[in-house]
Structure 1
Amino acid sequence: MQAGTVHGGVHLHHAPRSQRPVPRQLPPDTSRFTGREDALSRLDARAGTATLITGTAGVGKTALAVRWAHRHRDRFPDGQLYVDMRGYSPRGPLTADQALEGFLHALDVDPERVPVDPEDKAALYRSVTDGRRFLVLVDNVSAADQARPLLAASDTVTVLVTSRNRLPGLVSRDGVGRLGLDVLSPAESISLLRATAGGDRVDADPAAAARLADQCARLPLALRVAAERCADAPFTTLADLTADLAAEQDRLDLLSSGDDPNAAVRAVLSWSYRALPADAAAAFRAFGLHVTSEASLDALAVLLDLPAASTRRVVDTLVAAHLVEPTARDRYRVHDLLRAYAVERANADQPPEEGAAAVRRVLAWYLHTAFAADRTLLPLYRRTPLPAEDVTPLDFADRAAAMRWCEAERANLVGAVRLAADAGHHDLAGRFPSALWSFFDLRKLWADWTAVFEIGLTSTRITGDRHAEADVLNWLGVAFHDTGRYDRAIDHHQEALAVSREIGDQLTEAGALANLSSVYRRLARFDEALDCLHRSLTIRRATRDLRGEAITLNRLGAVYRDLGRLDESLDHLRRSLDLRKRTGDRHGEGFAHHSLAATYEGLRQSDLAVAHYRRCIEAHREVGNLSGEAKGLDCLGKVLDRTGDTTGAKAVWEQALAIYETIGSAEAYQVRARLAG
């Protein structure tokens, strides 16, 4: 791929909508939820505030928050946001910065308007949610700094935070209320056993039911898993269960630690795991090998090296045993305690080389599937093929399907890069940036973008892959340019230039020069920008890179317009548009028409400016680029207003405003002011 030439190309949006989409991100409600009426009432009283729900692992913090959220979702018509902060994950927690990017994306804020600085992101999040009726559930927090930026400033927003820790700073400094959740009462424990194992069993032996509750430390997670052992076994009694569990506790030397909730959970898990059929046990261990606690059926099939149908059958066994939970169709999540146990069993119960091969296989599958998505998102750009791996990646019917997969797998993709580097698979880690370039450029997920690409850069240097190193340097330069870190952008582009020249990679050299010119133009260093562009143009013509030539001509036209050399600007932009048409670059035509319209405005040829703005709008609308369409409409309105067509200007500004409001763009305020004036 030519680094940097795709920047700003495609924006995957749908047709304009009359209102923002409403995020509905809550996990499914917990089945057979029992008790907790006092805690639910206390949450009722705290609606419109922030509440921290604390308690030991497995006590039901998330289940309580999700139950309350579903019970009151009608009170939050503007949406419900959810994020798992993975505070206790062995692979590392989610940062508040990453969570904010996800929330702002869910709120349909234009990616190009999302600031880089975490504090600015938090301020934008508070602004977008201010005065609107939202519920925000921030799950599995381990430190106050993970949750603090996600607190809202409006009393119309209810925030629920769950954590094993008491987080005193969040309470004292931020005024968050704390709701401590204890284990179930004896009566609640028996009610849960009734709902799970069956009322007849409980009535037949109340003493055994009470013993089972005590053996499980009255933790909902342990009780559900234990009771499920007899739910489908009509001849198994609760006394049988308590005897089996006592034997398991003896085996683990945990019989005397009934006051230790974690010990009780581990005993129940060990007991349930050993009862699984071999194929289901292997599937449980696969969750310990996976990148995060949430996995698709496809990824699990790759880990198990089984067909999807066979994988679904064995995973259904785990669902029935309450060891994993479905979160969507063919998508599953495992509780972090269960995942920790799955990691332990994966390390203990299968040969190390078998587990290592499975991890390598799933990382390669994520890489190759991401590469397939990248080709679908931006199909017209050059790419360096990936090395062959014995995996079958997914195919994508269209851009929307590719983007949906990238968004659903975002956490796993970021985690895969980290895991690949940590596990020494630098040949994979170094290629993830090329496979994720289109997704990150289109979605502007700055924190993930820079983190993934910096890991990839280190890996390319470890493997000595100089071509990949030059590409990643160039792409990082684009990220730093877009986020206003111009010195770092220049450094990375210049380093990319040095590496590409050293290895004779002219395509990357031309892309780096063009990207460097954009930084110089932003800094009004026009002579340096022109020098870079002329050198880029020479290379692209020598290598017959027509698309690259079109991009460089367009950027030359923009610099000449800045310098007031409008005839030269017009000449370069016309040639760029011609090449866009010849190469079938429809979305590129939209940008070319916009640039031509701007130059015609400078030449005071308003009729031609209007014509090109209309063609720009048409092209952007055709490819679904809402941002480009809105900017075209906005500029068209300004030309119409200046030429006396105030009615026409008002009509297109109203269209632009509808789009700007849909994508959460800052330009909405300015358009609204023009319409009011």
Structure 2
Amino acid sequence: MQTGTVHGGVHVHQQHRFVRPVPRQLPPDTSRFTGREDELSRLDARAGTPTLITGTAGVGKTALAVRWAHRCRDRFPDGQLYVDMRGYSPRGPVDAGQALEGFLHALDVDPELVPVDTGDKAALYRSVTDGRRLLVLVDNVSDADQARPLLAASDTVTVLVTSRNRLPGLVSRDGVGRLGLDVLPPDEAVSLLRATAGVDRVDADPAAAARLADQCARLPLALRVAAERCADTPFTTLADLTADLAAEQDRLDLLSSDTDPTAAVRAVLSWSYRALPADAAAAFRAFGLHTTSEASLDAVAVLLDVPPASARRVVDCLVSAHLVEPTARDRYRLHDLLRAYAVERARAEVSPDDCAAAIRRVLAWYLHTADAADRVLLPLYQRTPLPAESVPLEFADRVAAMRWCETERVNLVSAVRSAADSGHHDIARWFPPALWSFFDLRKHWADWMAVFGIGLTSARVIGDRDAEAYILGSLGVALHDTGQYDRAIDHYQEALAISEEIGNDRLLGGTLASLSHVYRRLSRFDEALDCLHRSLTIRQSTRDRRGEAITLNRLGAVYRDLGRLDESLDHLHRSLDLRRGIGDRHGEGFAHHSLAATYSTLGRIDTAMEHYRHSVEAHREVGNLFGEAQGLDCLAKLLRLTGDEPGARAAWEQSLAIYDSFGSAEADQVRARLAG
């Protein structure tokens, strides 16, 4: 419920907008964590300073970091951030810019204000985290450049980095402390077996337990998998198990390198995999066909071509065997070594035709579900129906649709790339329109350009000229918004040429309106007006009412810039009427703001203030925080001009609260106005 008071005609809401919860992004704590007390104590002593945890694959770097983080989470009431940088993934790493975008969104920074440049993102990240008591866990880093921008500047923020590499540059240049993690000492390795395989079993044959620990190279990952096998075979002795493992190692010839402790992991994985029921083994192979190492239960069900309830049963079997780990409700991840083994098993045991069919199924499912989310996020946006190929998830509302897109963002980008790489260009071509609303609202610039760039290539491969024109125009929007005006114009001009060639008036009208926006930004007003008049004629003839409203709004803005204020008002009122008629509250917010600016230029202050109030209400209703803050700031200026100091202060305080919530540079300007 919203409550508040009225100052100067503006309703001051005490609670008026969605605020993201404090981020609690840590993965679940590792069950039956054993040992490492010395390392945990050393992390205790280094709280407030960045620390790099290094060691070989499977040695337990992430488990140690997560255990310490959960043990100390009360020290960080402002939240815990987590990102898997995928430094050793066959699908490629996450770059620092992508990780920073995720962190800034989790910290409630408005997407509109997230910069494009990684250095600028890092600067904003340092500003937003300054003084906050936060824990940041940066997992699976392969090089210093992945981690360096994620280091905070405040000693209230503790950053943990895990990597298989020693990253000397991070230590020497950035002052990051290093904590080297070796395999478990013999007694701790046996203790881990005792905690997982059972006290009676291990104590009954300590020599066999020690031998099993050595066969597993005392790596926690291998020990847990082996211990689960012990627990599942109550009538088999530890001596029997060590003999089985020795035979498996000999059969696979995995011990050719005595200096490679991870060789034992592969042997244990093979050993455990062959003990799985057939349907669980198929599920493990399905994880090897997924686009990344993390998948939802729904995606696994699609890969297996079974209902989610059936997939849950077999995935639970994999969780019990420690072959996959849950990261959230109905989401699972494979360790890098496990994923590599799953890929190997899929290639060796699944026919090429079945592999191709499963991959096609999951790519089509991601596409159709992204399209379903897109239709909820911006329901008035014109779309071409997808060819029927998959049954997507359904979303109750915009919040659910946005949550799915954010959760699956890495998988969606990977799915587009996988579709193109595997020759499914018809799928890759459809991803850009299916993800338009998500990228337009969240401004993940790097992913936006990557997805649309891949889609453009695929559209050209299959000769889809409509898709080519659409994607070129959409890339133009991203380039304009990131200040790359010359490149934006080039993309728009190419899209225009194709649209005219193929006779696609809908694309032609939209591209002309978008091109005008760049010309206006460059003060090339005659060219902007020419584009807009052509756009208006086309959109009216095609009965594109939403497009017509956008074009009218942009005409009104250009006329205001030229001092043709009566024409500005005429076009802006027509735009507002159209938007009201089709129920476009998002567009109403922009129309009211533009009308307010024109009335203010005319000196009709009362009317301008009324339109700013309507703009604030519309933006608040649809959750456009940046638009709300801008409207409040402009309204406050007019309230002060009329002598209503309390009303101006109330509006500025609301605007400041929003700007501060996402670390906007405008916050300092509003703060200065309040101080004045």
Q: TM-score range by the shorter chain?
A: over 0.9
For 2:607, the equivalent position in structure 1 comes to: 608
Whether 1:422 and 2:415 are equivalent positions in the alignment is: no
SS in 1 for 2:184: coil
> Which residue identity is paired with 2:412?
L
Is the Cα contact below 8 Å between 2:110 and 2:625 reproduced in 1?
no
Which moved further from structure 2: 143-152 or 506-515?
A: 143-152
Whether 1:368 and 2:358 are equivalent positions in the alignment is: no
Q: CA deviation at 1:255?
A: 4.8
| TM-score, structure 1 as length reference | 0.96
Q: What does 1:484-503 align with in structure 2 at a 5 Å threshold?
A: 484-503=483-502
For 1:78, the equivalent position in structure 2 comes to: 78
For 1:507, the equivalent position in structure 2 comes to: 506
Q: What does 1:306-385 align with in structure 2 at a 5 Å threshold?
A: 306-385=306-385
Query: Counterparts of 1:123 and 1:651 in 2: how far apart (Å)?
Result: 30
Q: What does 1:503-652 align with in structure 2 at a 5 Å threshold?
A: 503-652=502-651
Q: What does 1:13-28 align with in structure 2 at a 5 Å threshold?
A: 16=16, 21-28=21-28
Query: Counterparts of 1:80 and 1:179 in 2: how far apart (Å)?
Result: 21
Query: Counterparts of 2:634 and 2:211 in 1: how far apart (Å)?
Result: 74
For residues 520-539 of structure 1, the C-alpha deviation after alignment (integer angstroms, 9 at most, x for no partner) is 11111111111110110011
Q: What does 1:228-377 align with in structure 2 at a 5 Å threshold?
A: 228-255=228-255, 257=257, 259-377=259-377
Q: Which runs of 5+ in 1 are unaligned?
A: 1-13
Is the Cα contact below 8 Å between 1:16 and 1:626 reproduced in 2?
no
Query: Counterparts of 1:408 and 1:36 in 2: how far apart (Å)?
Result: 32
SS in 1 for 2:29: coil
Is the Cα contact below 8 Å between 1:215 and 1:258 reproduced in 2?
no
Query: Counterparts of 1:647 and 1:428 in 2: how far apart (Å)?
Result: 56
Q: CA deviation at 1:591?
A: 1.0
For residues 354-394 of structure 1, the C-alpha deviation after alignment (integer angstroms, 9 at most, x for no partner) is 011100110000000000000110111210111221x2111
Q: CA deviation at 1:395?
A: 0.8
Q: CA deviation at 1:258?
A: 5.3
Q: What does 1:198-209 align with in structure 2 at a 5 Å threshold?
A: 198-209=198-209
Query: Counterparts of 1:197 and 1:259 in 2: how far apart (Å)?
Result: 27
Q: CA deviation at 1:413?
A: 0.3
For 1:460, the equivalent position in structure 2 comes to: 459
Whether 1:30 and 2:36 are equivalent positions in the alignment is: no
> Which residue identity is paired with 2:42?
R
Q: 1:401 to 1:15 in 2, by over 3 A?
A: farther
Is the Cα contact below 8 Å between 1:50 and 1:158 reproduced in 2?
yes
SS in 1 for 2:139: strand
Is the Cα contact below 8 Å between 1:30 and 1:67 reproduced in 2?
yes
For 2:660, the equivalent position in structure 1 comes to: 661
Query: Counterparts of 2:171 and 2:623 in 1: how far apart (Å)?
Result: 45
SS in 2 for 1:332: strand
Q: CA deviation at 1:235?
A: 1.6
Is the Cα contact below 8 Å between 2:395 and 2:401 reproduced in 1?
yes
Q: CA deviation at 1:465?
A: 0.6
Is the Cα contact below 8 Å between 1:597 and 1:608 reproduced in 2?
yes
Q: CA deviation at 1:583?
A: 1.4
Query: Counterparts of 1:318 and 1:366 in 2: how far apart (Å)?
Result: 23
SS in 2 for 1:514: helix
Query: Counterparts of 2:93 and 2:133 in 1: how far apart (Å)?
Result: 28
> Which residue identity is paired with 2:562?
L
Query: Counterparts of 2:625 and 2:309 in 1: how far apart (Å)?
Result: 39
Q: What does 1:103-118 align with in structure 2 at a 5 Å threshold?
A: 103-118=103-118
Q: CA deviation at 1:652?
A: 1.4
Q: CA deviation at 1:17?
A: 5.9
Q: CA deviation at 1:666?
A: 2.1
For residues 299-353 of structure 1, the C-alpha deviation after alignment (integer angstroms, 9 at most, x for no partner) is 0000000011100000000000000011111111111100000000000011111
Query: Counterparts of 2:287 and 2:352 in 1: how far apart (Å)?
Result: 16
Q: CA deviation at 1:256?
A: 5.7
Q: 1:641 to 1:18 in 2, by over 3 A?
A: farther
Q: Kindly, what percent of the aligned residue pairs are identical?
A: 83
- Larger RCO (CA under 8 A, 6+ residues apart): 1
Query: Counterparts of 2:15 and 2:519 in 1: how far apart (Å)?
Result: 35
Is the Cα contact below 8 Å between 2:254 and 2:266 reproduced in 1?
no
| TM-score, structure 2 as length reference | 0.96
Query: Counterparts of 1:259 and 1:451 in 2: how far apart (Å)?
Result: 40
Q: CA deviation at 1:20?
A: 6.6
Is the Cα contact below 8 Å between 1:214 and 1:258 reproduced in 2?
no
For 1:3, the equivalent position in structure 2 comes to: none
SS in 2 for 1:140: strand
For residues 43-94 of structure 1, the C-alpha deviation after alignment (integer angstroms, 9 at most, x for no partner) is 1121111111111100000001111111111111221111000011111111
For residues 584-615 of structure 1, the C-alpha deviation after alignment (integer angstroms, 9 at most, x for no partner) is 21221111111111111011111111111111
Query: Counterparts of 1:439 and 1:614 in 2: how far apart (Å)?
Result: 27
Q: What does 1:40-55 align with in structure 2 at a 5 Å threshold?
A: 40-55=40-55
Which moved further from structure 2: 406-415 or 174-183?
A: 174-183
Is the Cα contact below 8 Å between 1:65 and 1:160 reproduced in 2?
yes
Query: Counterparts of 1:19 and 1:444 in 2: how far apart (Å)?
Result: 18
> Which residue identity is paired with 2:547?
G
Query: Counterparts of 2:17 and 2:532 in 1: how far apart (Å)?
Result: 39
Whether 1:151 and 2:151 are equivalent positions in the alignment is: yes
For residues 234-287 of structure 1, the C-alpha deviation after alignment (integer angstroms, 9 at most, x for no partner) is 222211211111111111123565552111000000000011001000000111
For 2:3, the equivalent position in structure 1 comes to: none
Which moved further from structure 2: 162-171 or 354-363?
A: 162-171
Is the Cα contact below 8 Å between 1:217 and 1:259 reproduced in 2?
no
SS in 2 for 1:77: coil
Is the Cα contact below 8 Å between 1:633 and 1:652 reproduced in 2?
yes
For 1:435, the equivalent position in structure 2 comes to: 434
Query: Counterparts of 2:142 and 2:66 in 1: how far apart (Å)?
Result: 19
For residues 553-588 of structure 1, the C-alpha deviation after alignment (integer angstroms, 9 at most, x for no partner) is 000001111111111100100111111111121221
Name the Cα RMSD after superposition. Answer: 1.4
Whether 1:186 and 2:186 are equivalent positions in the alignment is: yes
Q: CA deviation at 1:663?
A: 3.1
SS in 1 for 2:174: coil
Query: Counterparts of 1:255 and 1:93 in 2: how far apart (Å)?
Result: 29
For 1:450, the equivalent position in structure 2 comes to: 449
Is the Cα contact below 8 Å between 2:111 and 2:442 reproduced in 1?
yes
For 1:60, the equivalent position in structure 2 comes to: 60
> Which residue identity is paired with 2:634?
C
Q: 1:250 to 1:171 in 2, by over 3 A?
A: same
> Which residue identity is paired with 1:623?
V
Which moved further from structure 2: 238-247 or 569-578?
A: 238-247
Q: CA deviation at 1:295?
A: 0.4
Is the Cα contact below 8 Å between 1:18 and 1:658 reproduced in 2?
no
Is the Cα contact below 8 Å between 1:490 and 1:519 reproduced in 2?
yes
Query: Counterparts of 1:349 and 1:271 in 2: how far apart (Å)?
Result: 16
Is the Cα contact below 8 Å between 1:557 and 1:568 reproduced in 2?
yes
For 2:398, the equivalent position in structure 1 comes to: 399
Query: Counterparts of 1:18 and 1:340 in 2: how far apart (Å)?
Result: 41
Q: CA deviation at 1:177?
A: 1.3
> Which residue identity is paired with 2:468?
E
For 1:670, the equivalent position in structure 2 comes to: 669
Query: Counterparts of 1:149 and 1:547 in 2: how far apart (Å)?
Result: 41
SS in 1 for 2:82: strand
Query: Counterparts of 2:25 and 2:583 in 1: how far apart (Å)?
Result: 38
Q: Which runs of 5+ in 2 are unaligned?
A: 1-13
Query: Counterparts of 1:341 and 1:157 in 2: how far apart (Å)?
Result: 37
Query: Counterparts of 1:179 and 1:656 in 2: how far apart (Å)?
Result: 45
Is the Cα contact below 8 Å between 1:520 and 1:528 reproduced in 2?
yes
Q: 1:499 to 1:18 in 2, by over 3 A?
A: closer
Query: Counterparts of 1:453 and 1:20 in 2: how far apart (Å)?
Result: 29
